[in-house]
Structure formats: C-alpha cells, structure tokens
Structure 1
C-alpha cells in the first residue's frame, strides 16, 4: 500500500517485532488505539483507522480530559492496521527503539467528513475506548521554519459528559491488554489480572425480572422510566474466573462478547451480578447491527440497570432505588460514554416521557416502581410500553421465490402456545441479499415435515422446517385470527429457545395497584399482591402460571366438579375451602348441578384457561378435582391412593411405598402413574373404565389399603388416626367416594415456596428428591404428559376377580 511506504522504509522487520502487514482486526466500525511509547521521550501514539491504514499522531504529553488543555499531537507516518494492538519492545538501534504499551483500544466515529477534515485541518471525532471516551478535536496549527516539515496538530477534549474526569495519564499506568507496566513488558512478564484480587466464585445466574407489556405508560407517582433498548438482555457475573456474560435464558455467551468483558473485570468488586442489555457499540444502529457485531467480534456497549449482588451482599430484597444507588457506586469510576453505561432514569408522567422517544425513533420505555424488590419472572412492578409492535416468532418454513437473486419470497412464522405450534402469518420484507443467503443456508439444514395441525391457506408451495430458528419481527397489527399484518424482518435471535416463543399479549390499560391486568381474557385485580411472602409469587404470576400450564392441566381437570382452596390475602391469611359457585364470579367458572343430601346444589367446573385464571382472580391457589366427570358423576374414571406419611418420615420410605403400591395394583391388573403432591406424599393414580359406581370403587380401594397394612404393619396403616401413624404411612383411600376430591395435577399448593403437584413417570420418580421438588417455573419447563406414560383405563370388575383369586 502506497501510504505505508514511509513506515516500511524506516524499519528493519528482521530486527523489530513491529508488524509489516495490513490485516484488518475483527469488529465492525472504525478501530482506534493509543499506545504509550517509552522511546527517547515518553509519548502517546494515537491511531485512527481510515482508508485501510492507521492515521497516526504522537501526542507528546498524552491526552487530557480538560477542554482547556491543548496537547501537541505531531502527525507521523501512517501505520498498518496490524499495529492497532501492538505491544512489545523495539530493540535499540531501530527506529522508535523503546517499549510500546497498548494503553487504550476501541472504536472511533467521525463527526464530520474525514477527508475534508484532514484537508482543512480540523478533524472532529468520537472515541469509544476502554479509557478515553467522548468527543475530541484534532486541529492543525500553522508550521514554523523550525518544524522542519513536521505536521503539528492539537488534541483537544470537547465539553461533554466525559470531560473533567480524573487525569487519564496519571490514572492508567499499565497496559489495557495485559495490565503490565513498561518494565514488565520489557521483561516479557506474564499478563496480570485486572481489578481487585478475586477468590470467591461469581454469583449464580438469576432468571430475569421481566416487564409486563401495557398500552399506556404509568404516571409519575412511585414510578421512574428507562429507555427500552434494542439488544440482548443479559447478566454479567464477576468472580474468581473474571467476568462472564449470560443471556436471559442462562446461556454462556462470554465468547461472543469477549471484547466487552475486560471493562467489567476492572470494576472494584470481588464478586458482582449485574443486570442489563448489550447493544451494538459505536452508534452502529439497532438489533440488526448487533447481530453483525456479534459475527464480527464487536463493538458492543452494555447498559446496566440493576445490581443483584456485590461482594457477597444480596440486594434482591432491597427496593430498586437502593439497588440503583449501589449500581451507581460500583460504576462511578467507569469512563462516561464508554463501554459500560448506566441506563438513564427519567422521572415524570410516562406518556409525556414516551412521546419524544417515539418521535426520535426509539424503541419505547420500561417503567419501574422505585420501591420494587427483585423478583424473577414476569411482573407488574416493571411495565414496558412500545413505540411500535415488535416481537419474536419462530420460522416454520419458507416459500421459494421465482425472482433472480432472492433466496425465498417469504418466511412462515409461528408461536408455541399450549404445547402446539400456531401459525402467525408471513414476512417477506426487511431482508438484504446477505441476510437472505444466511437464513436460506440455515433453513436448508432444518428441512422437516410440517409441525402445524393444518396447512395454512396462504402457504402454497411451502418448504417446512424444524421450529428452531427464532426471529424478531416488526408488524403493524394482529388480525382477529392471530395473523400478523405489515410484517418486516428485524433480525435473528439466538438468546431465546424456540419453545419459549409465545404471542406477546398486551394489557389494555395502565397497571398499578388496584387496577387489572388481562390474563387469558380475565381481568386480574391487585396483580402485585404477594401471595407467598416474602418473595412471591404474586397474584399476577400465579394467574399467568395457570394460563401457561392450562394445556397440560386441563386434560385431567376440565369438566370435573372442583373444590378450591382460596387464600384471598395470601399464605398466612384466612383460607377457604370452596365447592359451590357464587354469584358474581367470572363466567368462565361454570355451574354443574350436583345432587346432595341437602338437594341439588351448583358446584363448579372449568373448561379452559380462562376458568383457571378466573378462579385465581377470586383468590384460588389450589384446585381439587372429583374422580368423575360432569357428564356421569356417578361413574368414576380414576382411583387414587394418597400415601400420606407421618411427619418427619424419610422421603426414601415414601418413594418405596409408592413403588410397592404400584406392584400390588399391577398384580391385580391395574396399571398406574405417580404424582408428587407438592407436600409430603405421593398419589398413585389408576385410570378406570366407567363401568362401576362409587361404592364399588371405595370398597375396593379400602380392601387394597387394608391388605397393605396387614402385609406390612410396620410401614402402613389404613386408619387415618394420627395417634397410630407414628413412623408409618397412611394409605388414604377415602378420596375414592362421591364428593371427595384430590389435588389436581399441576396445581400449586398453598405451602411455602408455591410448590406444585407434579405428575411424572415411574422411572422419573426414582430420581425425584422429594414430594415438593417442583415449583411453578420447573413445572412449566418439565411438565409433559407424554413423559408420564398414563396407561389406558382398566376394568375394575376384572381386578376384583383377580383379587378374589390371589387374596381369597
């Protein structure tokens, strides 16, 4: 390259370690670095990438963050791009002999036209380095005869947020790359770690606290607002192994954001867990630019907005306002306008804050209650209001294109709802040629049969794929049948598993204490009420759980009379056991007439998610179900043995009891499946053909329980007496009579920790650590009837005959 002729003519590359090549370093944007060069005179070499080389200036006294200082910067020969990260010793007798320390590195942006600025003698630039940030000026000054052809410039700091910080020359005296000083570089010493000594492991990843989507932003009382970013949500873990980056689903993406992590390792914390979002650095643009930056190795910027833990101090239960102050203290020495930025807090009415952000082309805002503690999962203490509709969808297939240069005409999109894939329409715009080629190559490897129940009418000629690719889509609206209109592609998302992509429902009103959030068409009042103190879940989180688990709960719960355990004031308040339907309750709770000793009474049943959520709205925590369905109440279709252990009895004995009960029933020709109750015991459930009445089922179950108690008297009893239960398990057969109920599969229990009654296979029971091993999050993630292996309904009369043969 012609402009490197001077550089090469001054160096003997057989004797100096300086690079001779011009290979461009990884990363988007224009690269920048500054090297502290201990030569004849200590100076700082500024390097700016432009035109395939590094424009270079020797700053005699180093940079100053005081705009009143004007530091002499002598223009030197252009350097090759390889010089950007050079650090080492130039031997004596060579041009520039001395030790070169990489003092800073990052990217830079021209504020004005670069070539015009160079010609005119005034270059305005923004630097985004680890140490230098903000806007700067390079101004050429008129030469003097004594300059002997030198081109002298002045490096001046612009007045901005990065100005007037502590003197960087005095503050940073070691390499930004290896943390070595000049003497250690000259001695070829090993790199040193940044930050304070760290021996403790980093805090564990915490599932993120997620905002609820609303149409209208809340007012000013008790709320503040932050910008909604267009990037990847993530957590930074700092500990003995340095800094690591975790995505919102807990994936370790440290390798993808490697260039960002050293800035966190310099923070003055031995351990920390920081919540925030990564965006494309150097003002490169939105989410698409971030994807390109990930592929190229940067640049990135991290906006921090919460601190969960620092130096062993757990901050999760502290109010947001206190966590914010702790975060500000942690980041107070981080360079402003740099790689790590505090998310800006904006006070005022949400609507007034949102309007100018949308006008400027922003994403929207996230409004947060300043008194809210940290709680994993969806919450109404944080609310998001969008300027435009954007959400994640999964690619289910593509339609080929007949146009040259176009890999496909459109992508077919879907979401995962209730265990099924739902078609959400097509997207055919927003792709450039490179993006189309990349997506086409990915999709070609995923060809598979269609996963939809029915082929969409507008999907003629479609090629179907495995639902593994998640994309972000901008759209105008959603039609009544759930299809997107005016959809445009934004980018590929790899931080969210496809199975977790659901349609982002939008609450119709602002949410705060006393107002309602819509879940499964039901308005949930007092959504922030904590039902399981001190940490939750809240009423809204419980409602959302039942909406999300409905597809797995309803096959066993729908169309059966219910009894509900209601705790309107949460755990610790008064509890109600309710079986009758009340006036004024949501219509999704339906009446079923039941003949009782007092006459015909209206009990209740549900058929859909709205029914479950409607019960939660009325204070329900637990759902208990009859053993028969409403179309034939006197013919049970299930039999349940509740293994209820004495307090303190070892879990291993309870689990063994379940397997023994399974074997006893199997001898009688009755296959079964187990369910952890969410408390102490296990239910052994037998599906039945509806051929006998309640009296027969109760008598049979009593006989089985008594047989086990007689066979193993030291382990079981068939009498519910507490006094006789010491060290033994009560085989509760009394749930097998008309009007009795048993806890429904996937029901939350009114117990500390909000444990869940969880059905599982016999094989999985062998590894279950306890009857209360599942909470709502784990139940949602792992609950699957296909894994349970529910057997076909069995004949009880046949089992009775078998019992007579075996037991006499």
Structure 2
C-alpha cells in the first residue's frame, strides 16, 4: 500500500480561512521541500512580499506538481471556485485584450496562490489605481555567457553612481539566479512607453561609462561577454519575479533584497526557502523604505531626447509585442540585407 496522504488543513491568514490541500506533496525534489514548506515560507516573509505585491496586478507562475512538472503562467483569475474575498485588477495587454489578474490586498491572497501551486509571483510595475502608469522602474541586469553574478553586481554598483548623481535611491535585489534587479520608485505619471524610454536612456548612460561591462544590444550576437540591461522588462506585460518570490530552481532560491554594501559579496545561492525567513527576521527588510518617495523621471526623459537627437532612438520591442511607432526593424543584424556592411 502507498503512503497515507496528509489531510488538508485550514489556516487563518489575514482574517481569511485558506485551505491547504496535499501539504506533503513534494515541490522541490532536490531539497525535499513540500507544498506546506512553500505555503509557510510565504507566510514567514509576509511583510516583505506584501511590500512588493500589494495592490499590484500579478501574474502567477504555477507548478501544480512541483518544479520538475508542468508549468504555466496564469494571467486571469478563474470566474469560478475562487474565494469571494479575492481581489482582482483589470489590465490591458499590448494586443488590446484585457484580463482580471490577481491583485493582492493582503497576505491571504499570496497564501491562496501558493495553495494553487504558485511558486513565482510576477507583479506588474503598476498599482490597481493606475494600471497604465508604472510607479516602479525596473533595471534588469542579466549576465550573458562568459559573465556571472559578480559582473552583474559590479554593473549595479556602477549604476548606483549614476543614480546618486540623479539624486534617486535604487533598491537592489538578487534575481534568484545570476542576475541583479534594481528598482526605482517613481511617480505614476507616465505611460509604459515613456518609462521604457527612460529605462533605455539610463541603460545607455551606464553602457557609455562601462562599455566593457554593460550592453543594451537586443540581439544576442552583439552582446559579447557583457551584462545585458534588459530594457524591455519595462514594456507592457513584461514582468519580473518580485522581492521575496521563490524561483523555480533546484535549490529553491529566492529573489532577495540586499543593501548596496553587501551586494558585491553575497552569493545568490545562499538565499533560499530555508535561509531567507531567518534573514528577514534577524535583520529586517532592506527594501523597507522603498515606498517612501516617488521620483520624477523627467531627467531620464531629457536624456532620451538628447540621445534621439544624436541618432540613438528607440530599440526593438519583444517579438510578441505589436510593432510600435519609431521602433527599428526587428531583424537580426547578421540577417539584415539592408544593413551597411
């Protein structure tokens, strides 16, 4: 006979009852972490992950049978079988289609999503009150082949110097892999197109200062052994795993906020399902002040205008995005017959 299946549990979270079924189902086989481990991990980092998710439309990356099983992204909350207290926010995709996404109002929403097999939380950089105006500018520093986390951390340190000159605070975190994310809290006054332009301008400035280390080249054949600043993470419907989200890695790593002083020396593999709750309890959240002020991105938009006047206009959008006004051709340079040789 097979092992006895653990019974479902009912757990009170933020004033709501959340059902946890199959608590002993193994989600991370290499570490032996179960569905209950994932569920209680998210409860243990509640303040931190709610700082990242509160009132943000959120795409759920679900693995109902564990990280080695089937995965899918859920962008629409089902119309049936959902607790009446679950909140949603309507967002518009680049195609013009709309969807009601989960919009966490409290930790019970996170717990409910974990019960549904969610491992990774991908919030939009907007709030439910202004779904078309980002309040979070995200810089994704993505190491390319031949580079690693140390290079991304070095690029982030160079970025910080630029942010200091601009008088804006950057909030770094590990990606949960080899990359580094730096967030800026901004005023929700600009469109996705404008915030993406600002991100490109900032990335280009970083690339000018460290062309040996950083690139904004969209085409992989042009990047070399450098850290790619993925400016398209600010395109509409592109999302990043949030602070304190687990990642679907064998080690059950976590995208973890860090402070600038420790960033060069941390090992992102040290931040996982077991270690991060203790770290948060002992030292607090390095992103605790992220919501204190919203920055005016006008200086970056002025840089974008300067760059355009110098012949550096827009850059390609993701391949699944509609063609945008002023966007260059989406043709791999080595296959572009019209490109000067």
TM-score bucket of the superposed structures, by smaller chain: 0.7 to 0.9
Which residue in the other structure is 1:656 paired with?
154
Greater relative CO (CA pairs within 8 A, separation 6+): 2
Which residue in the other structure is 2:131 paired with?
633
Which residue, 25, 34, 38 being the options, matches 1:529? 25
Q: Secondary structure at the match of 2:55?
A: coil
* Separation in 2, partners of 1:595, 1:726: 35
Q: RMSD of the TM alignment (CA)?
A: 2.5
The structural deviation recorded for 1:622 is: 0.2
Which residue in the other structure is 1:585 paired with?
82
User: How far does the alpha carbon of each residue in 1:693-741 deviate from its partner, in whole angstroms, 9 at most, with x for none?
Assistant: 2211111111222333344333222133333334211101112122221
Q: Secondary structure at the match of 1:639?
A: strand
Q: Secondary structure at the match of 2:150?
A: helix
1:132-211 → structure 2 map (5 Å cutoff): none
Q: Is 1:796 the counterpart of 2:288 in the alignment? A: no
Label 1:711 to 1:690 Cα distance change in 2 as closer, same or farther (>3 A).
Answer: same
The structural deviation recorded for 1:577 is: 1.4
Q: Secondary structure at the match of 2:45?
A: helix
* Separation in 1, partners of 2:252, 2:232: 26
Q: How many residues align?
A: 299
Q: Secondary structure at the match of 2:243?
A: coil
Which residue in the other structure is 1:780 paired with?
277
Which residue, 701, 724, 729 being the options, matches 2:227? 729
Do the aligned residues in 1 keep the contact of 2:137 with 2:234 (CA within 8 Å)? yes
The structural deviation recorded for 1:598 is: 4.6
Q: Secondary structure at the match of 2:88?
A: strand
1:515-664 → structure 2 map (5 Å cutoff): 515-519=7-11, 520=13, 521-582=17-78, 583-596=80-93, 597-664=95-162
* Separation in 2, partners of 1:651, 1:735: 19
Q: Secondary structure at the match of 2:82?
A: coil
Q: Secondary structure at the match of 1:772?
A: helix
Q: Going by fraction, where is helix more abundant, 1 or 2? A: 2
Do the aligned residues in 2 keep the contact of 1:559 with 1:605 (CA within 8 Å)? yes
Q: Is 1:678 the counterpart of 2:179 in the alignment? A: no
Which residue in the other structure is 1:268 paired with?
none
Do the aligned residues in 2 keep the contact of 1:761 with 1:789 (CA within 8 Å)? no
* Separation in 2, partners of 1:747, 1:653: 23
Do the aligned residues in 2 keep the contact of 1:588 with 1:614 (CA within 8 Å)? no
Q: Is 1:696 the counterpart of 2:188 in the alignment? A: no
* Separation in 1, partners of 2:224, 2:212: 10
Do the aligned residues in 2 keep the contact of 1:717 with 1:729 (CA within 8 Å)? yes
* Separation in 1, partners of 2:305, 2:166: 10
* Separation in 2, partners of 1:771, 1:643: 14
The structural deviation recorded for 1:667 is: 2.4
Length-normalised TM-score, structure 1: 0.35
Do the aligned residues in 1 keep the contact of 2:200 with 2:304 (CA within 8 Å)? no
Q: Secondary structure at the match of 1:756?
A: coil
Which residue in the other structure is 2:313 paired with?
none
Q: What are the ranges of 5 or more consecutive residues in structure 2 without an aligned counterpart?
A: 311-341
Which residue, 694, 712, 718 being the options, matches 2:210? 712
Do the aligned residues in 1 keep the contact of 2:137 with 2:186 (CA within 8 Å)? yes
* Separation in 2, partners of 1:543, 1:781: 16
Do the aligned residues in 1 keep the contact of 2:258 with 2:286 (CA within 8 Å)? no
Which residue in the other structure is 1:741 paired with?
239
User: How far does the alpha carbon of each residue in 1:426-482 deviate from its partner, in whole angstroms, 9 at most, with x for none?
Assistant: xxxxxxxxxxxxxxxxxxxxxxxxxxxxxxxxxxxxxxxxxxxxxxxxxxxxxxxxx
Q: Secondary structure at the match of 1:585?
A: coil
* Separation in 2, partners of 1:710, 1:593: 39
Do the aligned residues in 2 keep the contact of 1:678 with 1:773 (CA within 8 Å)? no
Q: Secondary structure at the match of 2:222?
A: coil
Do the aligned residues in 1 keep the contact of 2:154 with 2:264 (CA within 8 Å)? no
Label 1:766 to 1:712 Cα distance change in 2 as closer, same or farther (>3 A).
Answer: closer
Q: Going by fraction, where is strand more abundant, 1 or 2? A: 1
Label 1:637 to 1:608 Cα distance change in 2 as closer, same or farther (>3 A).
Answer: same
* Separation in 1, partners of 2:54, 2:165: 31
Q: Secondary structure at the match of 1:695?
A: helix
